[in-house]
Structure 1
Amino acid sequence: MHEMAIASSLIEIIKEELAKHGATRLVSARVCHGKLTNIVPEALRFAFEVQTQETSMAGAELELKEISVTVACGGCGTQFTPEHPDLFYMPCPSCGREFAHEVLSGKEIYLDHLEAE
């Protein structure tokens, strides 16, 4: 379950940000994650909740926003969002090429917003 490690890293980043701004309590945090990161939202929320118990972050809301996959065709360069749900079949809508596309978005993860007191 890589969500435990991700939650741990997010907590460290949040601690640094809270310290920078003199905040003592986290109210909410928004994390954006690409579809290709294979994050299970419920698992990440659970990992975050478990690791923040009895801290100044306890009870904070963790909002997760999924970023869709966007690729550039390896043949003609057309940028598109694959329509097939499993992302293994990605035919280009312009030329039909099914493979060797460059991933432009969908594999990132970052802390997007914090609300603290």
Structure 2
Amino acid sequence: MELAKYNIDIAALCETRFLESGSLNDLDGWSGKHKGERREAGVGFPIQMDIVTKLTKSPRPVSDRIMTMRLPLSKDNFATIISVYAPTMFHPDENKEAFYNRLASVLSGIPRTNKLLLI
């Protein structure tokens, strides 16, 4: 309701902790963790329903800190939106390095012709 109030079509959220996969419409949310797994972080995309119907694939959770969404702009043009929630300075260096390695892997897989939004 808050997004509609401010006329926002897509937002990138961090620190979400919804269970499994689904949509905010049915209160499940899109998350990178499964039921029973510990949730210390999370990212997600609340999206207006008219945009959801245009998606060829659901947003893809890469991890609890990285999620991607490919949005069609026109016939052969796409935008890739990546929602990230980087580990803070209090996390071990190994966690931070693993996060940035995974993000680099995701970025390398995006076609150069796509518009890219890293949020």
Using structure 2 for the length normalisation, give the TM-score: 0.25
Using structure 1 for the length normalisation, give the TM-score: 0.25
Higher-helix-fraction structure:
1
Q: Give the number of the structure whose alpha-carbon radius of gyration is greater.
A: 1
Higher-strand-fraction structure:
1
